[in-house]
Structure 1
C-alpha cells in the first residue's frame, strides 16, 4: 500500500453522513491502483503498462471522481478530499491532456493559432488602423499649416536632418543614397526601436487602454509630419514609397500590438459579470498570441527597412514590395480556414 495513501486513509474523519471506514475500505484499492499507474506514466514508463492497465485507467478515473463527489457531499475529512482532488487532476491530464512536440505546437501557431487570434481582435484592429490614419492626416495638416509643429511632434535627434529646414536635394539624398557599410547596424537599431513601440502599445493596455491609444495617435502624428516635410519639397510620392517597403508590415504590426493591448484594457475596464482579473486573463490568451506573432512581423519589417529599403531605390519596386507584403499579411490573417474537426 502506498504510505501516503495509508496515512490519509488512517486520518481521523469529521462527522460524516456515511460510514467513513467502510467507504475507505470499499474504494482504497481503486485509488491506490490509479495512483500506481499514474506514477509509472509520469516517470515515462507508459510502454511498460499492460493492455489491462491502460483499459482500466478511464474506469479508475471515473471511480475516483465518484469517490471525490461522495467525500465532499458527506463531509469526510479534508485530507482525504485533498488527496482525491489531486489524484483526479493527475488522472485528467494523463487521459485528456494532449501531448504535442514543440515543433507541432510551433506549426499550429503559424498555421492556425496566430491567425485566429488576430481575427478575434478585428474590431480593435480596425480602431487602431483608423486612429493611425486619422492622426497621420492631422500630423500632416498641422505641419503644412505651421512647420514649427514638426519640432513638437518629432524630436530633432530622431529627425536626423529631415526637417522643414532641409533642402529638396538633401531630402532626396536620404531617400536614395546607399549606405551599404551600415546596413546591418541600421537594421538592428530599427528593429529594436519598432519592437519597443509595439511592446509598449501592448504592455500599457492594462491601464484601461488609454496609454495605448495615445501611443498609437503619437505614432500616426509622427508619420504624417514626416511625410509632409517631403511633400512640401515635391517629394511626397517618393517619401511614401520609401516608407511603404517596410511600413506596411511595421505599421500593421504596431496596430495589432495596440489592438491586443486594447483588448486587455477594455476587459479590465468593462469586465461584465466576471471579475477584472478573470476578464483580463481571458482577454490575455488571444492577445498574447497576437503579441508573440508581431515580433515575427517586426523582424521582417526590420530586414525590409534596414536592407531592402536601402538597396532598392526604384519607387515602383518599393511600392510593389510594400503593397505585396500588406496583401500577403491580410490574406494570411483573414483568409477563411476550414473548421477544425
Structure 2
C-alpha cells in the first residue's frame, strides 16, 4: 500500500481518535459515553497497528511522529482512567507539549535565530559607521520621529529617557512581527523571511543609534527584562510559519493537503505558546516601565530571564518526550 493511499484510508479514524482524546482530556473517560469510551479503545488499538505499519514501511517521518504522539495521548487516556481538568490540560501543554514541540522544531527555530542575528549585526555595524544610514536601511516609520529629527541635527544626541519610549514601540512591533511571521508561512515562507529580516534591521539599526550616541547600555538594559522572551517568541512564530511553508514546498510522499494538516497542528502548538510568551513579556514590561530601576538591575533581570528560557526549552517535558517515544 502506498503512503498516500494509507493516509487516505486511515486519516479519518485518526482524526476521530484525536477528537475523542481531546474530549476525554478535560474530565477523563467519565466525560465520554460508554459507546465513545469503547470506540476510543478500539481506535487506539488500530492506531498502534497503523503506527507499526508506518514505521515498518518507512513512511514519512512526519506521519510517523504524528501517529506516535497520537497513540501516546490515547494510551494515557485508556490506561490512566483518571479525571483530567482543564487546568491539567493547560499545565500539560506548557510543561510538556509546547517545550517538546520547540525542541522538535529547533532546526526551523535555529534558522530564524541565525537569520535575525546576522541581519541585526549587519545593521548595527552599518548604522554605527554612519547613523544617517538608519533612514535608508529601516522601513518607513521604524525610526521614531523624535529620533529622525535628531539624525538631521548637527548636535546629534539622545536623552537616556528616550530609550523607554523606543522600547514600547519595539514591543508593539514585536507582536505585529510575530503574527505576520506565522501567517507569512502561507506565502511559501517569503513574507516570513522578509519580516524576520526587517525585524533584525530594526533591532540592530535602532540599537546602533543609541550606542553611537553613548546610550547603548541604557537602551539594551531597557529592553533586556522583556526582550529575551519577546525575541525568542518571534523566532518561534517564524518557525511556525516556515513549518507551513515546508508542508507546501516539500510535502514528501504525502499530498500537500495532508502534509499541511500535520505541520499545521505543529505550528498551532508553537503559535499558542508564542501568544503566552508575549503575554509574559508584556507583563514584565508593564512592571518595569513605570519603575526607575537602574540599568544594572534590568540587565540582571534580563540575564535571569534568559537562563529561565534556556532551562525551560532545554529540559521541560523531557520525561513525557521519552514516554511518547517508547509508547506502543
Fold match by TM threshold 0.5: yes
Contact 2:135-2:143 at 8 Å conserved across structures: no
> Match of 2:118?
134
> Match of 1:242?
222
In the alignment, which of 257, 265, 270 is matched to residue 277 of structure 1? 257
Q: Distance in 1 between matches of 2:256 and 2:32?
A: 42
Contact 2:225-2:284 at 8 Å conserved across structures: yes
Aligned pairs for 1:42-53 (under 5 A) are none
Aligned pairs for 1:89-128 (under 5 A) are 100-128=84-112
Aligned pairs for 1:1-341 (under 5 A) are 100-152=84-136, 153-156=138-141, 159-163=144-148, 164-165=151-152, 170-175=158-163, 193-335=173-315, 337-338=318-319, 339-340=322-323
Structure 1 unmatched ranges of 5 or more: 1-41, 66-91, 178-185
Q: Distance in 1 between matches of 2:264 and 2:31?
A: 33
Q: CA RMSD in A?
A: 3.5
Q: Distance in 1 between matches of 2:217 and 2:191?
A: 32
| Higher mean C-alpha deviation, range 254-263 or range 331-340 | 331-340
> Match of 1:79?
none
Q: 1:176 to 1:254 in 2, by over 3 A?
A: closer
Contact 2:158-2:213 at 8 Å conserved across structures: no
Structure of higher CA gyration radius: 1
Contact 1:245-1:321 at 8 Å conserved across structures: yes
Query: How far off its partner does 1:136 sit?
Result: 0.5
Q: 1:44 to 1:113 in 2, by over 3 A?
A: closer
Contact 1:129-1:255 at 8 Å conserved across structures: yes
Contact 1:136-1:222 at 8 Å conserved across structures: yes
Q: Distance in 1 between matches of 2:87 and 2:315?
A: 24
Displacement over 4 Å in runs of 4+ = 42-46, 95-100, 165-169, 189-193
Q: 1:150 to 1:158 in 2, by over 3 A?
A: closer
Q: How many residues were matched structurally?
A: 254
Q: 1:270 to 1:221 in 2, by over 3 A?
A: same
Query: How far off its partner does 1:169 sit?
Result: 6.0
Q: 1:208 to 1:45 in 2, by over 3 A?
A: closer
Q: Distance in 2 between matches of 1:109 and 1:45?
A: 22
Q: Secondary structure at the match of 2:159?
A: helix
- The structure whose RCO (Cα within 8 Å, separation 6+) is larger is 2
Q: Distance in 2 between matches of 1:108 and 1:276?
A: 30
Residues 189-208 of structure 1: CA deviation (Å, up to 9, x unaligned)? 87654322111100111222
Q: Secondary structure at the match of 2:188?
A: coil
Q: Distance in 2 between matches of 1:171 and 1:326?
A: 28
Q: Distance in 2 between matches of 1:291 and 1:43?
A: 31
Query: Structure 2 length as normaliser, TM-score?
Result: 0.67
